[in-house]
Amino acid sequence: MNLSLATPPPLSGAKNAVDESQAVFVPGEHVSVLLPLPVETAYDYAVPDTETLVPGDVVEVPLGRRFEVGVVWGPGQGGVAPARIKTVVQRIGVPPIPAVSRRFIDWVAAYTLQPVGTVLRMTLNPARRWKPQKPATVICAAGPSLATAGLKPTPARERVMAAVMRAREFATLADLAKAAQTGAGVVRGMIDAGVLLQKPAGPKVLMSPKVTMSAPALEPDQRAAVAEIAAKLGKGFSATVLEGVTGSGKTEVYFEQIAKVIDAGGQALVMLPEIALTAQWMNRFMARFGFAPTEWHSDLAGKQRRANWLGVIDGSASVVVGARSSLFLPFKNLQLIVVDEEHDSAFKQEDGVIYHARDMAVVRAREGAIPIVLSSATPSLETLVNIEAGRYARVHLPVRYGQASMPQVEIVDMRVHKPEKGHWGRAWLSPPLVQAIDETLRAGEQTLLFLNRRGYAPLTLCSTCGHRLHCPQCTAWLVEHRLTKRLQCHHCGYNAPRPTACKHCAAENSFVACGPGIERVAEEAQARWPDFKVRMVASDTLDRPSAVAELIDDILSRRIDVLVGTQVLAKGHHFPHLTLVGVVDADLGLSSWDLRAAERTYQLLHQVSGRAGRADRKGRVLLQTHDTAHPVIQALGSAAPEAFYASETAARRSLAMPPFGRLTSLIISGTDEIRVTAVGRALAETAPRGEGIEVLGPAPAFMALLRGRHRHRMLLRTRRDVKPQGLVQEWLAKARIPSSVRVQVDIDPQSFF
């Protein structure tokens, strides 16, 4: 997205969150309350006799026969008969949602064409079904002794008294009982007799974190980068791209900015593409700052989630690290946003509210008048164009830190170097790669074999009749997983055991595996090097955070010699003994007709390559390819990717593709294909027309069937100066869409299948 795109489309006044921090609504007045439901506007309610309310207050309101928690969005909008206006039940005891968050919610709703209530839900969710917390109590000595209270001084009671005297107070009855090695009944009896007192706890003093002094001495380039970005703190909105090869110290540089924000008493948000896999990042953060950042991602348990949310809104969480959704947190005093690996497509949320978290982060920074840092070794083309146009500043770290040099990249032509079959069956590792692994193992170093494909084989077919096993609910082959002994659909989760007979030709035991997944490459590696430890790593083998920590520990302490993994290993990790990266199939992903296929493949393979040789050992990267002349392969092989980026940019410009034009996808889906087709045809008839507007489709999507739903696509391409939101809104308002068919709008689509 371009910043110029980021001018909010006009909003209807009614929906706009009221901003005047002075506004106070008194009993009897009407306020509009936005609910975290798929609603387009806020509803009017009366302020109760017992409260005054301000914009942003979180309130409980009646809704039909139930109750819902919403946010005061502004004054009442009128238009409802006064008799029908219901009264707010109560104000929930959390700080009000700040004005900047409310403006941001309005903006995102208008830009993504989502109901504003649905967007609010991302901000408010932990406050819904709010239960007032029971006031915390402590147990302490009440004053009277056992004897004065008429209690027999049994050994258990004596121990309880001693424990209370020592610790002064206990948070719970159970804690005290445990400390005194007795039962809760004994303690309860002493409370009843008035020897012990359970009283409200005094206010908890929040410790503001102290930035510890373990900051490294910076290199001149790093120092310059820190100074340049630091100059923008507290100076309003700015966007800076922190570009530098893997290992150049980008993380160290933005840590410095975070330290400054903490010192100034503000909050910083760091967005990472896959927060669940960032154990190493967390450790580094703690080593640098001496405290743990506040995490925000979908795996947080309810209680922790609520505590973290409260920390964000009351300002006690000074650094938040999170996935996409962290952007919607109601920060009290956000002063800096960092988007690490800004090019990563994981920042695009593809369901629910469809939004690009990197783009929306820029908008959030602008709304909050704060700086944003976009960090990457391989910035997205959109970001590079924004630098060229002067909308973003660029800070560059040209070399790896310390002794580390960039790995040497070798291209292996698979048409020449064919893998040799072994006793285990087909092989996927070419002789040059096998030799490189041999050398690496002999030197006591580690190898990463990269293949972005989970499972054993991506396709299973009958060798008698050629029948291919596909998912009954999706346009997708079933992927064989030998570990779980199942065939799996990677799109919907469907799975089944491998059939013994082909249901088309009835041949028995005729199914064969085609192509490699990481399980198959791991099998080959273990067969070739039986004395070495081979470990397979994919998102499905790292389901717990502790699994990630264990894996990293195993790698660092060299209990693994060969890692075979998908892109989960590509991100952010730093393994000093890993000196060889073998890309098993560099062409994977290039054959896709996706607009960004080449760019994505380049970014991913560059990132994977960056895992090699990060300490004092030089790294080597071998890329196995059938297409040595491909611009992406050439760019990876040379140290100068500029030519590749330049040709990609030129191609997009000449085709008026993003960021030089804008795309909006409409995905029409339903279980009844005839209806889906009919809606598509109807939409085509009423499609917007005019200068700089072009509509493609409808046509069956690449994934024509997904989770049992038929899917057709339309693509609206508009010139940069034409805003698609208004066009699409008008277009859909005209259409009659039966409830059995869903039309999803994806502004700035990243995914095209």
Binding mask 563-582 for ligand ADP (x = CB under 6 A): -----------x--------
Total number of residues that touch ligand ADP (CB under 6 A): 15
Q: Which helix (H) or strand (E) holds 138?
A: strand 137-141
The reply to whether 46 sits near Zn ion by the rule CB under 5 A is no
| Three-state DSSP state, 639 | coil
CB 84 within 8 A of CB 52: no
- Taking CB under 5 A as the binding criterion, the range among 63-71, 351-359, 473-481, 507-515 that sits at the site for Zn ion is 473-481
Which of 247, 330, 379, 516 is close enough to bind ligand ADP by CB under 6 A?
247
- Taking CB under 6 A as the binding criterion, the range among 241-249, 427-435, 489-497, 706-714 that sits at the site for ligand ADP is 241-249
CB count in 10 Å sphere of residue 93 = 9
Which of 36, 74, 249, 565 is close enough to bind ligand ADP by CB under 6 A?
249
Q: How far apart are CA 747 and CA 743, in angstroms?
A: 13
The least CB distance from residue 256 to ligand ADP, in Å, is 10
With CB under 5 to 8 Å by kind, the binding choice for 222 among Zn ion, ligand ADP, none is ligand ADP
Q: How far apart are CA 641 and CA 80, in angstroms?
A: 61
Strand ranges, E, within 529-678 = 534-537, 562-565, 578-583, 620-625, 661-670
Nearer to ligand ADP, 343 or 652 (CB): 343
The least CB distance from residue 638 to ligand ADP, in Å, is 20
CA atoms within 13 A on the CB side of 9: 17
CB 725 within 8 A of CB 661: no
Report the helix count and the strand count for the chain, using DSSP H and E: 19, 33
Nearer to ligand ADP, 347 or 401 (CB): 401
- Taking CB under 5 A as the binding criterion, the range among 469-477, 521-529, 605-613, 697-705 that sits at the site for Zn ion is 469-477
With CB under 5 to 8 Å by kind, the binding choice for 252 among Zn ion, ligand ADP, none is ligand ADP
Q: How far apart are CA 399 and CA 396, in angstroms?
A: 9
The least CB distance from residue 475 to Zn ion, in Å, is 8
The least CB distance from residue 612 to ligand ADP, in Å, is 13
Total number of residues that touch Zn ion (CB under 5 A): 7
The least CB distance from residue 551 to ligand ADP, in Å, is 18
Q: Which residues pair with 742 in a beta bridge?
A: 669
Q: Which of 33, 81, 80, 83 is nearest to 60 (CA)?
A: 33
Q: Which residues contact 108 (CB under 8 A, 6 or more apart)?
A: 114, 119, 353, 355, 360, 363
Nearer to ligand ADP, 610 or 658 (CB): 610
Residue with tokens 């920074």: 365
The reply to whether 289 sits near ligand ADP by the rule CB under 6 A is no
Which of 55, 244, 322, 641 is close enough to bind ligand ADP by CB under 6 A?
244
Residue 743 phi, psi dihedral angles, 5° rounding: -115, 115
Q: Which residues contact 352 (CB under 8 A, 6 or more apart)?
A: 118
Q: Which residues contact 207 (CB under 8 A, 6 or more apart)?
A: none
Angle between the N-to-C axes of helices 155-167 and 184-192, in degrees from 0 to 180, rounded to the nearest 10: 80
- Taking CB under 5 A as the binding criterion, the range among 205-213, 483-491, 648-656, 679-687 that sits at the site for Zn ion is 483-491
With CB under 5 to 8 Å by kind, the binding choice for 494 among ligand ADP, Zn ion, none is Zn ion
Q: Which helix (H) or strand (E) holds 694?
A: strand 693-706
- Taking CB under 5 A as the binding criterion, the range among 253-261, 482-490, 635-643, 737-745 that sits at the site for Zn ion is 482-490
Cα distances (Å, whole numbers) of residue 260 to 220, 232, 255, 350, 680: 19, 11, 9, 34, 53
The reply to whether 450 sits near ligand ADP by the rule CB under 6 A is no
Which of 252, 359, 519, 523 is close enough to bind ligand ADP by CB under 6 A?
252
Tokens of 698: 């409808």
Which of 246, 308, 380, 624 is close enough to bind ligand ADP by CB under 6 A?
246
The least CB distance from residue 604 to ligand ADP, in Å, is 15
Q: Which residues pair with 625 in a beta bridge?
A: 413
Which of 182, 251, 318, 440 is close enough to bind ligand ADP by CB under 6 A?
251
Interacting positions 181-220 with ligand ADP (CB under 6 A): 216-219
Tokens of 213: 């002094």
The reply to whether 705 sits near Zn ion by the rule CB under 5 A is no
The reply to whether 172 sits near Zn ion by the rule CB under 5 A is no
- Strand pairing report for 43-46 and 86-87: parallel
The least CB distance from residue 408 to Zn ion, in Å, is 41
Interacting positions 490-549 with Zn ion (CB under 5 A): 491-492, 494
Binding mask 387-406 for ligand ADP (x = CB under 6 A): --------------x-----
Nearer to ligand ADP, 477 or 575 (CB): 575
Which of 474, 608, 695, 747 is close enough to bind Zn ion by CB under 5 A?
474
Interacting positions 307-326 with ligand ADP (CB under 6 A): none
Cα distances (Å, whole numbers) of residue 68 to 20, 64, 65, 313, 437: 25, 10, 10, 20, 60
Nearer to ligand ADP, 228 or 594 (CB): 228
Q: Which residues bind ligand ADP (CB under 6 A)?
A: 216-219, 222, 244, 246-252, 401, 574
Q: Which residues bind Zn ion (CB under 5 A)?
A: 471, 473-474, 489, 491-492, 494
